[in-house]
């Protein structure tokens, strides 16, 4: 299956893979030298939630609600090296790339909390047609 990130006004679609690679190149190019690796890495995670069928339905004007930005933040937290001191910053940037930075919250937050800690506890919600794990094959 092909997974798409966007549909242009003329109807042409860009694949998620092409979008992530393009954005990562731009992020790296526009970043200051010190942050180039972080900018590239964050941009590769920012839209992996678009691999979910529920996001793909939205491209076809389905009104299904789906928060794709949370997926990249969850995945970054899961895969980040435990010594990655920038992981919390990257999770903030990825989770807020459409809505802006949210309150961090506390470890007591649940998945319904509108905080970063709440967002990162939503991994169990991304199953079935909300499963975005197809990103790993690309």
Which pLDDT tens digit goes with each residue over 22-66? 999 999 999 999 999 999 999 999 999 999 999 999 988 888 888
The set of residues, in sequence order, having a beta carbon less than 8 Å from that of 29 and lying 6+ positions away, is none
Q: Is residue 12 part of a domain?
A: yes
Confidence of residue 72 (pLDDT cuts 50, 70, 90): very high
Average pLDDT over the chain, rounded to whole?
90
Whether 72 maps to a domain, the answer reads yes
Q: Give the pLDDT mean for 113-135.
A: 91
- For residue 45, what pLDDT is reported? 93
Answer yes or no: is pLDDT of 84 > 90. no
In a domain, 118, yes or no: yes
pTM of the model: 0.84
pLDDT beyond 90 at 101: no
Least confident range of 33-47, 93-107, 122-136? 93-107
Q: Would 138 be classed as within a structural domain? A: no
Structure tokens at 11: 């109807």
Domain count, the chain: 1
DSSP 31: S
Residue 95 falls inside a structural domain? yes
Domain range for residue 62? Answer: 4-133
Q: Is 64 helix (H, G, I), strand (E, B) or coil?
A: coil
Looking at residue 81, what is its pLDDT? 83
Report pLDDT for 98.
74
Cβ neighbours of residue 127 closer than 8 Å, sequence gap 6 or more: none
In a domain, 56, yes or no: yes
């Amino acid at each position: 299956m092909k997974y798409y990130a966007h549909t242009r006004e003329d109807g042409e679609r860009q694949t998620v893979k092409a979008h992530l690679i393009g954005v990562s190149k731009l992020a790296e190019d526009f970043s200051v030298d010190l942050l180039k690796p972080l900018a590239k890495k964050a941009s590769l995670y920012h839209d992996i939630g678009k691999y979910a069928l529920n996001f793909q339905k939205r491209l076809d004007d389905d009104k299904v609600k789906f928060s794709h930005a949370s997926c990249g933040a969850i995945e970054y937290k899961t895969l980040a090296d435990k010594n990655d001191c920038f992981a919390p910053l990257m999770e903030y940037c990825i989770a807020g790339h459409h809505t802006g930075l949210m309150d961090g919250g506390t470890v007591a937050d649940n998945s319904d909390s509108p905080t970063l800690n709440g967002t990162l506890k939503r991994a169990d919600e991304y199953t079935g047609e909300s499963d975005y794990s197809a990103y790993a094959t690309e």
